[in-house]
Amino acid sequence: MSTVFADGSLFSNVLILGTGFSGLATSIKLRTSWKEADFHLYDRDHSWGGTWAANTYPGCGSDIPAIWYCLTSDPKGDWSKAFPPRDEIYDYIQKLVAKYELRHMATFRTEIEGCKWNADEKLWYVNVRSLETGKKWVHKCRVLFTCKGGLVEPNRVQIEGLYTDFKGPVMHTARWDHSVDYTNKNVVVIGNGCSAIQVIAAIHDQTKTLTQFARTPQWITPRPEFVPGRITRFIFTRFPFVLHLLRTIVFFVIEAAYPMFKKGWLGTFIRRIRAHHATQNIRKKSPEKYWKVLKPDYEFACKRLIFDCGYLGPALNNPNMELTFDRVVKVESNKVITKDGNSYPADIIIDATGFDLSGGFTNIPFIGEHGVSLEDFWANGRVSAYETVLVPNFPNNFLIFGPNSATGHNSVLFAIENAIKFCESVGVKKLISGETDYIGVRAEAYDRWIHDVDSSHAQGLLQQGGCQSWYLADNGRNATTYPWSQLTAWLRARWIDKNAIVIGNGEKKTK
């Protein structure tokens, strides 16, 4: 329960910014092994869920096997499909919120306008604004967990006439309007990533025409469509150790794909096999007219892989569906015009161009020790976080699923749990209990981390595979993905370099 001061400010021992899986996993940890009840969460959305609250488009789901896409504290074995659909993931989150009595711990529809470190009090001052009433207040805390996910804010496509001349609805996949009826309508989809593939596979047979405008081809790989039966679900529910064993096996199977993201003979061998398999799948499922344009000219695993969920077939086999790489340059009242001068009818336009990752954590102004802003500290290609969690000059602020924590092959939930375990290893329980009032990372340790991350990425496919990926910043640096295996992340979260961490000391602010 937050303390209210006479000046209207609030205090909680722990604040969590974000109610997606990062915020949920942190809250569960606080509730259970960390034994802390004085915490609060803020989120700009309307409910718990993060990415899974924001993305509700048809066909939305995870591309990670279902039994691995759940928290270790609460494994789930009764998924309806091998790869979990969005609604089941969202329902799983809501059940955990109810189980751990977290619903009243969060305030929604709020914007974090800034976070400032007070060196005298060893507190974070968090400025909050209600998106519904406009009311502003300050919420102070001793420990701050920044759980800001990346797949939430839309990257809106900009085309002449799209928002001014077009008479029909325009909607981004991350802001899906369920009141729009696309039945027997001329639908245009702009984009060729995971969201576009999923939504096309889900709605193609309900539209009059569906035209997809893609910029570059993607490596689309087949996925198993195993549906757990009643007996399987019963075994997982009745005998939890079987589920834990299978989860461990799935982890190592998924992790075996890690070498393909690196140079060397093993990576080359795995990529050639996977690329051959993907190419054969294209020829098996899609019309011959698309065979050449669907196969990328860059190396396999250079971008995030996309799993086929019914896009190659039956979607591309639908006679009312057309895929083109001709670029849309103008939108008129009921049609789109392309660079080659072609015209396509349009009643509805779906923007499936992904998410805006440009601001990242700097969308929230952070002011740390010595008045240093996080945006300035991260300038000149220094965006990262030590072990994906800590940044110098910003003590007691733990970034969960922070920079360089994403993976191209494994579950984000595993990365989140590794980050939380790292927090535990550096002594966050002592910080929460008051045994210490300061935890930070040394600047020299951060510099070594940056060097090691960049050196490892320089040997990887994401920077050397001949493609432009959303993993990379405009300067070509990768501040998104983890440079080593997730097994390495698991080990580093438990066996830390204690010399890199500062505990109990910090800036002594002069009067």
8 Å CB contact between 150 and 172: no
User: Residue 386: its pLDDT value, please?
Assistant: 97
Give the Cα separation of 490 and 428 in Å (integer).
Answer: 18
Give the Cα separation of 467 and 297 in Å (integer).
Answer: 9
User: Residue 510: its pLDDT value, please?
Assistant: 35
- Backbone φ and ψ for 294, nearest 5 degrees, come out as -80, -20
Identify the segments of the chain with pLDDT beneath 50.
507-511
pLDDT (tens digit per residue) in 389-398 = 999 999 999 9
How many angstroms separate the first and last alpha carbons of the chain? 33
Give the Cα separation of 508 and 170 in Å (integer).
Answer: 53
* CB burial readout 156-184, b (16+ within 10 A) else e: ebebeebeeebebebbbbbebeeeeebee
Host H or E run for residue 429: helix 428-433
How far lies 22's CA from each of 27, 147, 226, 421, in Å? 9, 5, 28, 12
User: Residue 81: its pLDDT value, please?
Assistant: 87
Helix (H, G, I), strand (E, B) or coil at 181: coil
Host H or E run for residue 221: strand 220-221
Handedness of CA 197, 200, 203, 205 (dihedral sign): negative
CB-neighbour burial class of residue 369 (10 A; exposed 0-12, middle 13-18, buried 19+): middle
- Domains defined for the chain, CATH in brackets: 3-48+102-153+358-503 (3.50.50.60), 170-225+239-351 (3.50.50.60)
pLDDT (tens digit per residue) in 35-52 = 999 999 999 999 999 999
User: Residue 2: its pLDDT value, please?
Assistant: 66
Give the Cα separation of 319 and 451 in Å (integer).
Answer: 52
Residue of 166, 217, 470, 175 whose CA lies nearest to 347: 166
For 153, other C-beta atoms within 10 Å of its C-beta total 19
User: Residue 465: its pLDDT value, please?
Assistant: 60
User: Residue 511: its pLDDT value, please?
Assistant: 30
Task: Tell me the pTM.
Answer: 0.93
